[in-house]
Structure 1
Amino acid sequence: MAKPKAIVVDVNDLGFLDNENDRTGSFVRPVDTANMLKDIYWIEFELSRMTMGWMSAAADWGLKGELVRMAYLHTEHMKHLRERINELPGAALSDRSWTPNEVSNVFASIVLAPAFLEFAATYRIFVNKLYDKYDRMVEKLDPILDAPTLDKWRAIEMDRTQLSTWLSNEIRFAYVDDSEGRARFETWCRFVKRMWDGLDGGDRLEGFAWPEMPAVTPAGPVPVVPAHDPNYPHVDLTKYKSAMFDPASPTYDSVKHMVFINASEMSASESLTYLYYGIQKMPMDFYHDIARHTWDEIRHSQMGVRRLKQMGYDTRDFSWHPSTALTPDNLERTFPEFYSSLTMVMEPCSFIKKRKSIEAFKQFGDYLSSLQSEYDIADERLHVNFGKKWGAKLFEQMNDFVTANSVAEKAKQLHLRKMGYTEEEINSVLGSFPEFCGFATLDLTYDRY
């Protein structure tokens, strides 16, 4: 009896799926879906960078928070898209994938708006065009064959109204009583719409010409001096190293100073936006983590300001710490040193007083302030892990290879030097975390409300 012929199946032989020239009429193949999603993925990323970069150019405290929220939502969309892209045939997204030049070049131009209203209009034009692009893709997809893509789309579409209507009235009536400003605004919007046409395939059409950029002086992104809301007056840094040390604060000698410290986290968030926009070609998970971290700092500031106002205070009753912006002369050090100090010194040290504050607020019957500190600690445990994950890699990106442990030690030393301690004092406390935190941060008066 003849022996059955063995059948060998190579389950990894899927190259035929990647063949983009093997057409199926008007039907969308898996590789086609992957390519459409990748086009959208990079636009979502550049929109997140654009909104994060312009946060520091917005003067209004509320608008700063909205911009970070929007940037965070775009990164959440990216996660949905990446998950589906990596399930499909075609070139998957790697850790080192970066925005294609044809996309980054467009965004490098449109981000240079001459004023905040022009930026807001630019964002609205592009985000609405992006959702139109999503709609065109969805119309092509088979509701059964490509249901996993459509499931991702439904999660992304939930944010459509919020993102596409942002500042709609302000944009509609921009410069309504300023004819010169209105003319500049309309010229800029025509330029932006034409840039989208080129990005969305118009540059491949015969006769298409890229528009000439209007002659304007850009107001953003990441200005050298962050725009400042006058309702949050800055502390005099010639007298105090931080706003939390200013005894003129109405909460200074009480546990309620913890609420003010929460409220003041806008400065950390703003500095993180410079990090997000300025550091390029890190693994994409870095941008997802920084977007989450920045949004968390915004939430902490929002909950702190809300609670202060509930207590009857006005933001003008306090002095606020200014944000740290990038400077060309120390760019290579500013980013990694700031981030390492934030995640490996300030945030872990804050756990001590936040834990004490939780119990103190309960003793005074202030359960909302107590709850705020609980959520704050939950968030900042995450941030400390971000610091361990990315602190050393940031130094590597700056061609200064160090280990995670050495980053932590370096961050502690730098923080104490900036506070004016001697090397002898620094060396005496570095080995003891509680003692170090006593040097590094202000303790609170927990028995006074």
Structure 2
Amino acid sequence: MTRVKMNNLGIPPLAGVCSYEEACKVGIDVDRNVSLLRRYLYIQTQLNKIFAAHLASTPEWEVKCAFSLHMWLAAEHSAILRKRVTEMREPPLHLDKVPDLQLEKLFQELIRSDGTSELVVGIYGVVMTEFVAALKLHLDETNPLVDHPTYRILKIIRMEQEEMLAWGKQAIVGLTPSSEIQLKTQKWADHLAVFLDNAGGISGEANKIILDNKVAPRNDGQPYEMQMEPKRDERFIDIYNDSVKIDSFYGDADLEPDERTYALLYKRLREMDVPEWMGPIIYRTNGKPWDYYVDMSRQLWDEARHSMLGEVGLYQDGVEFYKYPIEYKTSMTLNKAFTALEAHTILWYIEQSLMPKETGKRYEWVVAMESDNALAKTFQDYDWADEVLHAQIGRKWLVPEHGSLEEMKNQGALISQRYSIERAKLDVHSEQLVNWWPQFLAEIREGRDKIRGKQLQPK
């Protein structure tokens, strides 16, 4: 419909945001908009918390990687939505107040998922599927010009949620290989759907149902207790074996540059234990400003990404990342024997120890630069940049806890001493006898030469 023929000089009107007809749509009023956005930010806040609670104890490496990214995106999306709510006549107060007790019950059930398949089906097959649908409806209904700030952020959030959902749908297929598992997860999806329906859906505007008395909640009214012990799936072998001291290889100037660089790539691979101990830190730390959870979730994602860089570095030269031991004694020790504040303090203590020019991250980059591994050079370049950020995050949130930077350093040293003692107790779980490094080095060199030989052959 064209109401009047406009002379816009051949230039798209309304800054290209929308057509005149779309701008004539009445759309959603401010009060309803705020109500919806508060539900959305609550959902993202809860997903961030659920990812944090389950990341360590989820055995499947690929799921840990995805949870790390999706956890950070949930924190970011919650932060963006919080900011928008405060721009719409709402003071920045009570943004963490539960908007709907029925919605809270849904997430109290979801966090109690039994195993990875239930958890992934619940997050992606139920909650995220409906969340994406709710965002689409919101974008269709709101006036894209008058409510452009909301329209813009919901478009961004929807795009990233759809990318996460696409991963989740494929992961569900991989995690439900048998009809028995499919039946189990479908029952769990149906169970969660009852709670979502009782909340009136994501928006709260659907017809609410009366909770079926036959649907017994798993939530017994007691606070959820996360599983602190990190887990790895059956592909990983001898996961307590740290007999190969990686630092001694890349720090040895007498070794060949490629061996030193492969040691760095393996060190990156081992960084998965950092997300495995950061998840519990984040989950157990309550009452902080939301920026804390955004910063910590970002650092967690960076550490998982570093581990994936190691994974790719081995793949580049033909070695499966799970073939040789990837120990997790650090996360096992810190999760089980230390408080969240202690675990965070030692994380910072390690990060700041990597800042000196001659021994830290710059040195690792120099080692990679001396090799002919171009990919490793790029990896170390960005790893160095990330670690500088992480040291800043630690100072930002920990100095107020300890009172001063000097006291934080003192506490870090004391905690490190106790950590070394506790960590050594795990040696009994591995014979620590197998020096697998020569075999790994021979295999990856052979793979590299074979792959490069194929690349150099004339087509």
TM-score band by shorter chain is 0.7 to 0.9
Aligned twin of 1:339: 344
Deviation at 1:40, TM superposition (A): 0.8
Q: State the partner residue of 2:82.
A: 82
3-state SS, counterpart of residue 136 of structure 1: helix
Q: Choose 405-414 or 374-383, whichever is displaced more.
A: 405-414
1:287 and 2:289 are equivalent in the alignment: no
Aligned-pair distance for 1:417?
4.7
- Aligned partner of 1:149 in structure 2 is 150
Task: Identify the residue that residue 3 of structure 2 maps to in structure 1.
Answer: none
Q: Compared with structure 1, are the counterparts of its residues 192 and 236 closer, same or farther at alpha carbon in structure 2 (3 Å cutoff)?
A: closer
Cα contact 1:128–1:164 (8 A) shared by 2: yes
Task: Tell me, in whole angstroms, the C-alpha distance in 1 between the residues paired with 2:178 and 2:105.
Answer: 34
1:87 and 1:165 mapped to 2: Cα distance?
Answer: 32
Aligned pair 1:213/2:216, yes or no? yes
Q: Check 1:258–1:99 CA distance in 2 against 1; reply closer, same or farther (3 A cut).
A: farther
Aligned residue in 2 for 1:229: 233
Q: Report matched runs for 1:386-425 at 5 Å.
A: 386-392=393-399, 395=401, 402-419=403-420
CA RMSD of the aligned region, Å?
A: 3.5
- Structure 1 unmatched ranges of 5 or more: 1-25, 396-400, 421-448
- Greater shift after overlay, 72-81 or 279-288? 72-81
- Is 1:196 equivalent to 2:201 in the alignment? no
**SS of the residue 1:28 aligns to:** coil
Distance 1:260 1:137 in 2: 46
Gaps of 5+ in 2: 1-25, 422-444, 446-459
Report the residue type matching 1:227 in the other structure: K
The answer to whether the 8 Å contact 2:292/2:397 transfers is yes
Deviation, structure 1 residue 59: 1.5
2:116 is the counterpart of 1:113: no
User: In the alignment, residue 158 of structure 1 is paired with which amino acid?
Assistant: M
361 and 81 in structure 1: CA distance in 2 versus 1, 3 angstrom threshold: same
Residue 348 of structure 1 aligns with which residue?
A: 353
The correspondence of residues 225-264 of structure 1 with structure 2, limited to 5 A, is: 225-236=229-240, 244=246, 254-256=259-261, 257-264=263-270
AA in 2 matched with 1:208:
I
Per-residue deviation, residues 254-285 of structure 1 (Å, max 9, x unmatched)? 52222221111100111111112222221111
Whether the 8 Å CA contact 2:246–2:264 is kept in 1: the answer is: no
Q: Is the 8 A contact 1:345 1:412 kept in 2?
A: no
Q: Following TM superposition, by how much is the alpha carbon of 1:378 offset from its aligned partner in structure 2, in angstroms?
A: 0.7
Offset of 1:81 from its aligned partner?
Answer: 1.2
Q: How many residues align?
A: 380
Equivalent in the alignment of 1:272:
278
CA–CA distance in structure 1, aligned partners of residues 93 and 129 of structure 2: 25
Q: 1:371 aligns with which of 371, 378, 395?
A: 378
Structure 1 residues 322 and 198: alpha-carbon distance in aligned structure 2, compared to 1, 3 A threshold:
farther
Cα deviation, residue 100, structure 1: 4.9
CA-CA distance at 1:123 after TM superposition: 0.6
Aligned partners of 1:244 and 1:33: how far apart in 2?
Answer: 54
User: Letter of the aligned partner of 1:161 in structure 2?
Assistant: E
Change (3 A) 1:264 1:175: closer
Q: CA deviation at 1:37?
A: 0.8
User: Is the alpha carbon distance of 1:305 and 1:151 closer, same or farther for their aligned partners in structure 2, counting shifts above 3 Å?
Assistant: same
Match of 1:139 in 2: 140
Identical aligned residues as a percent: 18
1:273-300, Cα deviation, whole Å (9 max, x unpaired) = 1112222221111110011000000111
Q: 1:327 to 1:98 in 2, by over 3 A?
A: farther
- Give the superposition deviation at 1:203: 10
- CA deviations on 1:122-145 (whole Å, 9 max, x unpaired) are 112101111222233223322221
Match for 2:268: what amino acid?
N
Deviation at 1:158, TM superposition (A): 1.5
* Residue 244 of structure 1, CA deviation: 3.8
In structure 1, the partner of 2:438 is none
**Deviation of 1:402 (Å):** 4.1
Q: 1:326·1:335 contact (CA, 8 Å) conserved in 2? A: no
State the 1:210 CA deviation: 5.8
